[in-house]
Chain A
Amino acid sequence: LFQMSKQLDMFKTNLEEFASKHKQEIRKNPEFRVQFQDMCATIGVDPLASGKGFWSEMLGVGDFYYELGVQIIEVCLALKHRNGGLITLEELHQQVLKGRGKFAQDVSQDDLLRAIKKLKVLGSGFGIIPVSGTYLIQSVPAELNMDHTVVLQLAEKKGYVTVSEIRSSLKWETERAKQVLEHLLKEGMAWLDMQAAGEPQYWLPALFTELYSQEITPEEAKEAIP
């Protein structure tokens, strides 16, 4: 243990040296952050585990991601009533950037994902759902199992899905499809369009692209900071 203490001190010095030369790089360069995080993961180190860790204290990586976490929580809370607690990574990215203002550091989608992974531990239902090429971010403690996820992925293509599509693409029974869709409706993550030609369509507000550029209203912002 004594040996570890000594080596720890040495490592701390190395890290300080690194920080004095490259601290800016981490803050300003999203690609560099990705590399950094990947390398840490490979050797079994989590630089974001604690604000008290060396990485956080000396490189300032911690503050960057923890603050981002706060911004993510606030955006998700403000928009929850619109989309039931599901939001695309793109929209989240846009809204967070807006909130950060012109002079803030650049934030990449990878940064958002890492911050969200850390937020999971707070127990309020943060989750990441892969859908063709991108991700849906869940921010409410709704139970979404494999069935729900797969239907979300199917709906992602057009923004909506029908029972027939589920039956033909996934080869499910009608009952199973309906159960999943009803669950999404109940959670507020899907809206029902009975007027659609043919059969009812289940739309995901999270995927309405027209809503993307819409500002968070003052009422919504109040929701975000109870």
Chain B
Amino acid sequence: LKFDSGVLLLSTHRLIWRDQKNHECCIAVPLSQIVFIEEQAAGIGKSAKIVVHLHPASSNKEPGPFQSSKYSYIKLSFKEHGQIEFYRRLSEEITQRRWENMPTGQTIQVNKDPKAGRIRAVGIVGIERKLEEKRKETDKNISEAFEDLSKLMEKAKEMVELSKSIANKIKEKQGDITEDETIRFKSYLLSMGIANPVTRETYGSGTQYHMQLAKQLAGILQTPLEERGGIMSLTEVYCLVNRARGLELLSPEDLVNACKMLESLKLPLRLRIFDSGVMVIELQSHNEEEMVASALETVSEKGSLTADEFAKLVGMSVLLAKERLLLAEKMGHLCRDDSVEGLRFYPNLFLTQS
């Protein structure tokens, strides 16, 4: 049996080969059997080919030209032309997998071959075999991981329940619980990542850890703050600190919680929250209101400035530049011209020239 000269057809469900002379001779492979395909370029004396790697045949496969094969792939040889386009189309069909959504149409009559049997790919070392094994192993790992994860979550859930009941007892026994115990409870919650059932915050809970962190930050940030005019946004701090750490990074909440404690621990830095919600760290020695006076001078010199322009002039981030100008406006030194061209600040002549 030779399948030398024919036409290759592609449907949404199958790859079909039909003999050129005897149109009744047709063989087909379901696209679902294909593991992957690869191209083989033409060369001297060789035609361009597509190699189609296949899954082992299923037991209810339709009869075909061969009972079995030692190969797990077939080769399609394009003697005349069409390899490139066909490869592209076949790839598309394999990717789209439309056969999964569409019921099959009529089946083409298969060649009534005397050797009716099944194609069975008996490859010992088949790429397809390796892929299949790898996939099974990955699946096994994942399902094991999920099982273990579920069990772990059950235990975690118990911890959550326990913390709730303790929180309730604390509420009832108002005042009967020592400060030391409160601190310990908070640190347990922190370890588990459970929101404080009493205050409903996961941040602002001031544990030992955050106190230490606050002190560390005071040390780390002193110089960077001085280099940046005494003020930095919290996002800048977050990036700076975590980039420096490399490992065991701070969560955003850790940073905020620690910064909230700066003032009470009498450290040389403080957390400030502007009206807009923007959060900054300032040196204690920094006085934003004084900076406003110099900002007013700068704006007056130039007549008017946008936040962008001011930022470039002074060498600040746009975020902080804007906050300073807004503060100046709040204090009455500047007034705004809010147009579609942007927000521009002018010295408040109403104030100075009344």
- Whether A50 contacts B253 by the Cβ 8 Å rule is yes
Q: CB-CB < 8 A to A188: which residues of B?
A: 342
Q: Cα distance A42–B203 when bound, in Å?
A: 20
B-facing mask of A40-77, CB < 8 A → 1, else 0? Answer: 10111111111111111100001100110110011000
Please report the total number of A residues contacting B with Cβ < 8 Å: 64
A49 touches B202 (CB 8 A): yes
Q: Is the interface of A mostly helix, strand, loop or mixed?
A: helix
Interface assignment of B9: CB less than 8 Å from any CB of chain A? no
A 1-14 binary contact with B (CB < 8 Å = 1; else 0): 10111011011101
Q: Which of B209, B253, B342 has the most CB of A within 10 A?
A: B253
Q: What residues on A are CB-neighbors of B254 within 8 Å? A: 50-52
Q: How far is the CA of A225 from the CA of B237 in the complex (A)?
A: 11
Given contacts A18-B149, A48-B193, contact A73 B342 (CB under 8 A): no
> How far in angstroms is the closest Cβ of chain A from B206?
12
Is B235's CB within 8 Å of the partner chain A? yes
With both chains docked as a complex, state the minimum distance between the C-beta of B256 and any C-beta of chain A, in angstroms. 5
Q: Which residues of B contact A192 (CB under 8 A)?
A: 340
Contact flags A164-205 to B (C-beta < 8 A → 1, else 0) = 000000000000000000100110100010000000000000
Contact of A121 among B192, B253, B338 (CB under 8 A): B253
The interface residues of chain B lying within 8 Å CB-to-CB of A21 are 144-145, 148
Q: Is the CB of B153 within 8 A of A53?
A: no
Q: How far is the CA of A45 from the CA of B156 in the complex (A)?
A: 8
Complex CA–CA separation, A34 to B142 (angstroms): 13
Q: How far is the CA of A10 from the CA of B236 in the complex (A)?
A: 38
Check if A101 is an interface residue, CB within 8 A of chain B: no
Which residues of chain A in 96-111 are interfacial with respect to chain B, using CB atoms and an 8 Å cutoff? none
B110: CB under 8 A from chain A? no
Determine if B185 is an interface residue (Cβ-Cβ < 8 Å).
yes
Do A69 and B156 have beta carbons less than 8 Å apart?
no
Taking a contact as CB atoms under 8 Å apart, the answer to whether A67 and B242 are in contact is: yes
* Known A40-B156, A51-B251, A63-B248: A35·B279 in contact at CB below 8 Å: no
A176 to B: closest C-beta gap in Å = 16
Chain A residues closer than 8 Å to B248, beta-carbon distance: 51, 57, 63
Total contacting residues, chain B, CB less than 8 A: 66
A25 within 8 Å of B by Cβ? Answer: yes
Which residues of B (239-269) have their CB < 8 Å from a CB of A? 239, 242-243, 247-256
A36 to B254 alpha-carbon distance, docked (Å): 22
Taking the nearest CB of chain B, how far is it from the CB of A34, in angstroms?
Answer: 12
Q: Mark A148-162, 1 if CB is under 8 A from B, else 0.
A: 000000000000000
Chain A residues whose CB sits within 8 angstroms of the CB of B256 once the complex forms: 121-122
Q: Which of B156, B158, B248, B277 has the most CB of A within 10 A?
A: B156
Cβ contacts under 8 Å, A15 to chain B: 152
A43 B157 Cβ-Cβ under 8 A: yes
B193 touches A124 (CB 8 A): no
Contact A62 B249 (CB under 8 A): yes
Give the CA-CA distance A23 to B192 in the complex, in Å.
17
Taking a contact as CB atoms closer than 8 A, the residue among A55, A69, A121, A185 that contacts B193 in the complex is A55
Given the interface pairs A8-B188, A123-B273, the reply to whether A51 lies near B249 with Cβ below 8 Å is yes
Please give the distance in Å from A128's CB to the nearest CB on chain B.
Answer: 15
Chain A interface (Cβ < 8 Å from any Cβ of B)? 1, 3-5, 7-8, 10-12, 14-15, 18, 21-22, 25, 29, 32, 35-36, 39-40, 42-57, 62-63, 66-67, 69-70, 73-74, 80-81, 118-125, 140-141, 182, 185-186, 188, 192, 225-226
